[in-house]
Amino acid sequence: MYPSLFLFLLVLIIGAKGTQLRSDYYFETCPEAEFIVRDVMKMAFNREPRSVASVMRFQFHDCFVNGCDASLLLDDTPEMLGEKLALSNINSLRSYEVVDEIKDALERACPGVVSCADIVIMASRDAVFLSGGPYWDVKLGRLDSLIASQENSSNIMPSPRSDASSLIDLFSKYSLSVKDLVALSGSHSIGKGRCFSIVFRLYNQSGSGMPDPTIEPEYRVKLNKLCPVCGDGNVTGDLDSTPVVFDNQFFKDLVNGRGFLNSDQTLHTFPDTREYVELYSVDQDAFFNDFVEGMIKMGDLQSDQPGEIRRNCRVVNRQPLNLVADS
């Protein structure tokens, strides 16, 4: 009846949700951006295959906290506690230097053009592809946040003790389905986790004084050796049995009770998620398709706060006031 009014309201809503992301965003301003990111990621992979998994994890920890805005990458300042030392990130997130390397290369080619938030999205896609997983087109055009909050990250990011039903609730807050949750958990097809993240399930699951009964006995012996009671919590183990290859082995391992993290193994124990675990364990194409869909949806989570293109991913650009004061 009032089509123009309807259109006006629609535009307002999209505007408030952030800018429209698109795959050719840097086509004119930095056409080589995606090649530069891929080259640095390839070098990182050759140096240390795990580092690309570590970088891929940034997408999850960035996008779930106030949208994909590189808030995760800000170092703490005397005025602001950032996300790097939040509960799920401290002594755990790593390979920030790979993002720095990508940013340096991009700043040399096209200064001030490509956001750190977009770097995380491109690098995550490349991490999966370099590890033998699927390739997909990423949407670009995000801005970098001016602030970060350690408290927000600590409140949001899930613990390795989580069970499937709490993860379903968490993901649903971001309009991510049960299928998205299971497919995205397949990111644990690459990378490692610390003993710190699993000792509770080896020795005192849910305060029972007993191990998690869903761990396959031989695998449990192996994990007990890797992570003895009162051992070094920083020792790491593989998240699945092929930790540098992005494949569906992770889901086969879950079916066999050989999931490293409690949060992963409960995806097989819990009926609503189990059907997807079983499907992906026998159908790698279904996993790859649903994973890509999930990564794109997660990448669409936007911040509603003002942003900028940071020159250094670790710090916000200097305010004009400071520039005046310095010169």
Ligand X SMILES: *[C@@H]1O[C@H](CO)[C@@H](O)[C@H](O)[C@H]1NC(C)=O
User: Does residue 209 belong to the site contacting ligand X (CB under 6 A)?
Assistant: yes
User: Does residue 190 belong to the site contacting ligand HEM (CB under 6 A)?
Assistant: yes
User: Does residue 299 belong to the site contacting ligand HEM (CB under 6 A)?
Assistant: no
Q: Which residues pair with 80 in a beta bridge?
A: 77
Q: Is 272 annotated as a binding residue?
A: no
Stretch that binds ligand X, among 215-223, 231-239, 263-271, 290-298 (CB under 6 A): 231-239
Q: Measured from the CB atom, is 141 or 231 closer to ligand X?
A: 231
CA distance 227 to 229: 7
Sign of CA dihedral 69, 75, 78, 83: positive
**Is residue 61 flagged as an active site residue?**
yes
Stretch that binds ligand X, among 145-153, 168-176, 277-285, 307-315 (CB under 6 A): 145-153
What length does the chain have? 327
Q: Is 158 annotated as a binding residue?
A: yes
Catalytic residue among 50, 57, 61, 94: 61
- Minimum CB separation of residue 127 from ligand HEM in Å reads 8
User: Does residue 56 belong to the site contacting ligand HEM (CB under 6 A)?
Assistant: yes
Q: Measured from the CB atom, is 147 or 296 closer to ligand X?
A: 147
User: Does residue 59 belong to the site contacting ligand HEM (CB under 6 A)?
Assistant: yes
For the chain, state the CA radius of gyration.
Answer: 21
Token representation of residue 138: 């990423």
Token representation of residue 166: 């709490």
Sign of CA dihedral 198, 183, 187, 76: negative
Spatial CB neighbours of 99, under 8 Å, sequence gap ≥ 6: 55, 58, 73, 116, 119, 120, 123, 313
H helices of the chain, in order, are 3-16, 33-47, 49-63, 96-109, 116-130, 150-156, 164-172, 178-185, 199-203, 217-226, 249-255, 262-269, 271-282, 284-299, 320-326
Hey, how many other C-beta atoms are within 10 angstroms of the C-beta on 59? 25
Interacting residue ranges for ligand X, rule: CB under 6 A: 66, 91, 147-149, 152, 196, 204, 207, 209, 232-234
Active centre residues (catalytic): 61
Binding residues for Ca(2+): 62, 65, 67, 69, 71, 83, 240, 242, 247
Interacting residue ranges for ligand HEM, rule: CB under 6 A: 50, 53-54, 56-57, 59-60, 92, 94, 158, 160, 162, 167, 184-185, 187-188, 190-194, 197, 239, 261, 263
Binding residues: 62, 65, 67, 69, 71, 83, 158, 188, 240, 242, 247
